[in-house]
Amino acid sequence: MTGPVRFPAGQRILERLQGFLDRLREEGVRIGLAAGVDLGRALAAVPALDREAFREACRVTLAKSPTDLDTINRVFDEYWSTLGQLPVPPASEEGKVPRGTERRRPGGAIPPRARPPRDELPRETIEGRYSPRAPAMGHPLAPLPAVEIRRFRAGARRFRRSVATLPGRHWTRSPAGPVDVRRTARRGLRTGGEWVELSRRERAPRRADLVVLWDVSGSMREHTSQLFALVYALHRVIRRSRVFAFGHDIEEVSALFQGQPYVRALPDLAARLSGAGGGTQIAHCVAEFRRHWGAVLRPTTTVVILSDGWDLGDPAGLSRELDRLRREARRVVWVNPYAADRGFVPATAALKAALPFLDLLTSPRDFPRAHVARRLSVSSLAAA
């Protein structure tokens, strides 16, 4: 399958293609060696001198997401129109756009920004940007002690067990499902080797399906470090999890957590949240979430909303959106940083509007003690 690629224009096109691939990598498109080879083979199969055929071959072989398609289109026009004027950058990891910027939506909560070199990243980023609702203050992100991280991790595991809806590796007896041959054969020994009754089994639910909606508005600044530890633990423990940051708009930040150790994910997120901090529009953000990423909601999904409930939006709109969210997902959990405080009552308009649609209202501190969190039910708080 992998013969040499021959181009009508000879060897020089390979050097140009290499420059094009390097440029795409600089723009954050993840192109491996195999994709490059595929592109070469594709160009040998289509009329490569036909600009649109060339473009399509690049799109088909190099893209792996809709964002990649847009980037390839843009870079293609720039690179193949101005060749000779553009310096071809060397293949390098430096300056690569972090994965978190994938699937970025226009007008997101967090301004697009290239990641600075790691050693220049501030631990506390205060510099902000204009927000129509409130001054952008950035988010102070300091690492928590290791013991705290471990507590969050243990709490996240307990939480996963309590909200597990997806089948895991372990089997359990079931009236339906495939035949458990070993058990059937073993039971058959009691009846002289005859399989009188078939035993059946199915995978026990052990895995969770999670969506985290994280309020990064100004009023949540002082809780960001704690919430980051919580979100990090949830994302590490629950493989099928997506994280979205919201303020006056919403944006996915899952990629910032993927495969990153805690100490590295922390400065990356601090850099990304540096412009966040405006007022909160929860209903609008939930509506935007459902509009752009609604497909991730399934009857197995648990939605965790991390917010203090200070909201500038319309409470009736929030009720409407949470009602829809509740109907599309398995359960909705609201984590309020103040929920564990003595005498806490859900007094903000947003929380009052949200309560009828929540399965659980809890605090980040109760997550490591999930059994306590489970007792803190919405109904008891509503009664209070």
Partner 1 sequence: MSAAAPASPLAASVEAVLTALSEQKYVIERGLATAVFLAIRLEKPLLIEGEPGCGKTEIAKALATATNAELIRLQCYEGLDASAALYEWDYPRQLLEIRLHERDRTTAEVETEIYSERFLLKRPLLRALQGEGPARPVLLIDELDRADEEFEGLLLEVLSEFQVTVPEIGTIRATRIPLVILTSNRTRELGDAIKRRCLYAYIGYPTAEKEVEILRRRLPELPEQFAREIARFVQRLRGQEDLAKRPGVAETLDWASALLALGEGTLRSEPVAETLGLLLKDARDLETYRKERLDLLLASP
Residue numbers at the binding site for partner 1 (CB under 8 A): 1-3, 30, 32, 34-35, 38, 41-42, 45-46, 52-53, 56-57, 59-61, 63-66, 68-69, 166-167, 178-179, 181, 195, 202-203, 207, 239-240, 242, 254, 287, 290-291, 294-296, 298, 300, 320, 323-324, 328
Nearer to partner 1, 50 or 127 (CB): 50
User: Least distance to partner 1 from the beta carbon of 103, Å?
Assistant: 9
Pairing of strands 166-173, 201-207: antiparallel
- Give the whole-angstrom CA distance, residue 222 versus residue 215: 12
State in angstroms the smallest separation of the CB of 246 from partner 1.
16
* Cβ contact 330:166 at 8 Å: no
Distances (CA, A) of 10 to 44, 90, 96: 12, 22, 31
What are the tokens at 249?
A: 């708009």
What is the C-alpha to C-alpha distance for residues 132 and 234, in angstroms, rounded to an integer?
32
Taking the complex as a whole, how short is the minimal distance between the CB of residue 85 and partner 1, in angstroms?
28
Nearer to partner 1, 35 or 360 (CB): 35
Per-residue burial over 259-284, b if 16 or more Cβ lie within 10 Å, else e, is ebebeebbbbbbbbbbbbbbbbbbbb
Please check whether residue 19 is in contact with residue 79, taking contact to mean a CB–CB distance below 8 angstroms: yes
Nearest to partner 1 of 231, 381 (CB atom): 231
Nearest-approach distance from CB 364 to partner 1, in angstroms: 26
Nearer to partner 1, 148 or 328 (CB): 328
Nearer to partner 1, 180 or 308 (CB): 180
Return the number of the residue (59 or 129) whose C-beta is nearest partner 1: 59
Q: How far is the CB of 64 from partner 1 (least distance, A)?
A: 4
| Among 151, 325, 171, CA closest to 229 | 151
H/E element holding 245? strand 240-246
Is residue 233 within 8 A of residue 155, CB to CB? The reply is yes
In angstroms, give the least distance from the CB of 254 to partner 1: 8
